[in-house]
Amino acid sequence: MRLLHLSDLHLGRVLNGFDLIDDQRYILEQILDIAKEKNVDSILISGDIYNKRTPTESAVELFDKFLEQVSEMGLNLFAISGNHDSDVRVDFGSGVFRKNKIYIAGRYRGEVEKVTVKDEFGEVDIWLMPYLKKAAVASYFGAEKTETYNDVVGTVVKSCNIDKTRRNIILAHQFVSAGEKPRLAGSELRYESVGTLDFASVKWFDDFDYVALGHIHRPQSVGRKTVRYSGSPLKYSDRETDVPKSVPVVTLGKKGEEPEIEKVPLIPRRDMRKIKGELEKLIDEAVDKDDYIVAELTDKYRQHDARARLKQVYPNLISVFYSENEFEEDDAKPRIAANTALSFEDNVREFYRLMTDGEEISDEEMKILLDIMRGDDITE
């Protein structure tokens, strides 16, 4: 069977004021074209379907349409929630959808759901492990088995109790590492300097034939070729200009045969790229003007109206900065680093004041942030 592996769609994402929904629609169409062209049987989505827990109407509409198209093509679809998704909302309709071969696991309920499908070599078990929150896992397995992030993931993966004589595939939305820190793309982390980043060992996944990971936006394998982050289908931050996007198409053969993986490049409707040089030169030599542009100015002196002038040629200008002194032209967004001497809560309060000209964060908002924080969830 042949699988197309996706993750981190972040439908509804708005980047520096630019609504990316049309770019997302475009890339999903391209993905379906790839699925057709490569004769794919199943699409996997390893979490972060939406950009937030309360997705925009246009994001829901887009995903709805996508499911309809997948279903019309006769494909299987397997999806799990990510840390950005509301597990409950992602679960909506899932009981009904499965009649159309659309299998979605939003909420973790103490067991990892298994779906068995058939191909010419027999049966394949596909495990849908939704994004795991420590508290949810602890309520089923107790505090001892869920002390660290690695324990949480390991405990749940082990509980699958897979039949090793069969072919097994798992979808997961977690940080998984083979020892060294994975290379991030840039849009995963919002509060990099707050808290520590934890990783689960790739060892837990040793007996799976393919591990379809989501959470890290830069495409990469972890430890072996068949444990893989597909990466997000689009660049989702101005730090990702150098991260080309692709989708892995995985051909699963007989048990014991290493699956073949082809990385098919994704070509966005508008690329996000960095340009570097003196302002006048950048304006004179402008090409592909619809692209999302991150401009690095090498002028020695601050240029009058640099941002507005660049925006005239590049309407989708994302950010401007000077390389000499790292001076941010966009002074509405000062560079901020967390003060490690303060608690998370105090850092958040301070940050909120800075961003709102001195307003105080509400208790309700603070509670949401703390909940996220406690769920080991400090990432995008």
Residues in contact with Mn ion by the rule CB under 5 A:
8, 48
How many residues make up the chain in this entry? 380
Nearest distance in Å: CB 379, Mn ion = 7
Three-state DSSP state, 252: coil
Beta-bridge mates of residue 215: none
Nearest distance in Å: CB 132, Mn ion = 15
Contact predicate 103/76, CB 8 Å: yes
| CB-nearer residue toward Mn ion: 8 or 238 | 8
Which residues have CB under 8 Å from 45's CB, separation 6+? 6, 7, 9, 77, 78, 79, 80, 171, 214
| CB-nearer residue toward Mn ion: 48 or 240 | 48
Distance (Å, whole) CA 223 – CA 225:
7
Nearest distance in Å: CB 83, Mn ion = 7
| CB-nearer residue toward Mn ion: 129 or 282 | 129
Nearest distance in Å: CB 111, Mn ion = 25
| CB-nearer residue toward Mn ion: 168 or 379 | 379
| CB-nearer residue toward Mn ion: 7 or 168 | 7
Nearest distance in Å: CB 216, Mn ion = 8
Which of 125, 170, 132 is closest to 151 using CA atoms? 132
Nearest distance in Å: CB 217, Mn ion = 6
Q: What backbone phi and psi angles, to 5 degrees, belong to 243?
A: -110, 95
Beta-bridge mates of residue 14: 19
Residue labelled with tokens 């069977």: 1
Distance (Å, whole) CA 334 – CA 61:
35
Distance (Å, whole) CA 380 – CA 51:
9
| CB-nearer residue toward Mn ion: 127 or 175 | 175
